[in-house]
Structure 1
Amino acid sequence: MTETVHRAARAPRPGLDAQGCIEREGSLGRIPHAFRPVVVAARDGLLDLLGDRLHSAYLYGSVPRGTARVGRSDLDLLVALREEPADTDRDAVRALDASLDKRFQQVDGVGTLLYSRARLLSDLETYDLGWFVACLCTPLLGEDLAEYLPRYRPDTLLARETNGDLALLLPRWRERIAEATAPEARRRLVRYTSRHLVRTGFTLVMPRWNGWTSDLHRMAEAFAAYYPERAERLRAAAALGHEPTDDLAVLRSYVDDLGPWLEAEYTRVHGTKAPRTE
């Protein structure tokens, strides 16, 4: 195992620039042709809906990375408002998401995150939402907030502030599992929790691996170099992140075994995320 870890540490790392900072992933030029009409409709819909209150909008996920699959991938957006979003804003954006999902069969769901400009640029969010915007989001509309954010390295501070809150999430997941009685609801929950656990496993080892990737399978392999005894569990979760099942046993294993183990190890290695008020 030691030789494997040392070899992994010496290998050239993806996702970093010449200074060792995480490069921004995705671009509008990488959007697959089939998804371009959805992106245009989402852009126009947000402009009509929010008008001058909209500061900026971004794409993230497989669509701007160019890896989206027709009929299988969702469209993910993040919107920054000039003021704090109200419940009416969230309701209106959810309605727009649902309308786009129904209108365009090439996407399997549309989801929009809604925040204020001030929150995204706050000190508390610099190494969480701020990093997310600067490194994982592709500008679609308005002024790019990345201009006001630092460069990021794959260090323990970033690891802690991005995924150091699994202890808070596990009780919520248990509630959602109890409520997910329909097969489709369980599949969506398996997809979401699988992806989250793989990303948490990856950021656990990210400072030692010294690189960045959004590819679930590559994340699982990076984790495997340092935790071979848990490797197959994370590889299986990576596969389920792409091809989810509705098996309730998978969800239970996440909240009873893999999740608690990851939470304890993450806390031991990186500590816990700075608390939020919400």
Structure 2
Amino acid sequence: MTGASEACRVTPRPGLDEHGFIVREGSLARVPPAFRPVVGAARDRAVDVFGTRLHSAYVYGSIPRGTARVGQSDLDLLLALREEPTETDWASARVLDRALDNEFEQIDGAGTLLVSRAQVLSALERHDLGWFVACLCTPVHGEDLAGHLPRYRPDSLLARETNGDLALCLPRWRRLIAEATAPGAPPGAVRARVRGISRRLVRTGFTLVMPRWDGWTSDLHEMAEAFAVYYPEWGPHMREAASLGQEPSDEPAVLRSFLRSHVEELGQWLSEEYARVHGVKAPRPASA
């Protein structure tokens, strides 16, 4: 009888539990030793800067997943405030980012995302920002908002609400690429654009096929390979984007070439195919 039960048990898909829900991918226990002082400093300084206005703080990305590389990985923070973030809050966050980046050689940049508690828990953000906090963010301070959010499956609704707005990104990417490759652009601008745009393209390609693949991963190369199973003709483009997202280039020529091959070609096709398969993400207020 036991043998029959074992034989009938369904093996969970990657990133899912036995019931088919996405498992929270990071934890403080997985933070590599070299990055623990960085996470501790980020937490303490966020509390110092925002005080009682800070509801909860999270770290996300490669550091809590345990895959960060010293000198190459960035520090990603999400701070949920009790009220809507102000311009002053955003300015304070940028100061915090620069201080962390300058002090800790382990990281290649720091980025802080500011949100409000109400925004995370809103119906509009339930399958985007809410999912992001519940599944991709690791709490380091305050009440974990995941306790107020549902469990999530890798379905078409989640795909639509997370990345169904790629068409809106393309014009902005063209402008950012032009600014980063223009004379007098600040140091690191090319590298930042290559990394950010590449990662977004790969994640969008993955979530396009996520319901069919029936699982979850945040590994860029795994995402690209999952995408290539269903769209092999675009596989080389997506694999190149994954490589650039992992190891971005500082060369303006690479970014200009990337504009032609990935933004104009892959990006345009991907936005149209995404809308056809999953629909378009619910519109956000203009101020969002």
Query: TM > 0.5 between the two?
Result: yes
- Three-state SS of the structure 1 residue aligned to 2:230 is coil
Aligned-residue offset at 1:11 = 8.8
Q: Deviations over 1:172-217 (max 9, x none)?
A: 0000011012573222211111111000000000000000000011
- Three-state SS of the structure 2 residue aligned to 1:115 is strand
Distance 1:194 1:201 in 2: 11
The corresponding residue for 2:236 is 232
1:204 alignment partner AA: L
1:272 alignment partner AA: V
The corresponding residue for 2:204 is 200
Q: Give the superposed CA RMSD.
A: 1.3
- Where does 1:166-245 land on structure 2 (aligned, <5 Å)? 166-181=166-181, 182=185, 184-245=188-249
Aligned-residue offset at 1:98 = 0.5
The corresponding residue for 1:129 is 129
Distance 1:274 1:66 in 2: 33
2:91 alignment partner AA: D
- Three-state SS of the structure 2 residue aligned to 1:56 is strand
2:45 alignment partner AA: G
- Structure with greater contact order relative to length (CA < 8 Å, sep ≥ 6): 1
- Three-state SS of the structure 2 residue aligned to 1:192 is helix
1:52 alignment partner AA: T
1:200 alignment partner AA: T
| Alignment coverage as a number of residue pairs | 269
Distance 2:192 2:92 in 1: 23
Residue segments in structure 1 that go unaligned for 5+ positions in a row: 1-9
TM-score, normalization by structure 1: 0.94
Tell me which stretches of 4 or more aligned residues in structure 1 moved more than 6 Å: none
2:210 alignment partner AA: M
TM-score, normalization by structure 2: 0.91
Distance 1:63 1:184 in 2: 21
Distance 1:255 1:155 in 2: 26
Residue segments in structure 2 that go unaligned for 5+ positions in a row: 1-9
* Alignment partner of 1:120 is 2:120: yes
Tell me, yes or no, if the aligned pair for 1:134 and 1:145 is still in contact at 8 Å.
yes
Distance 1:45 1:244 in 2: 29
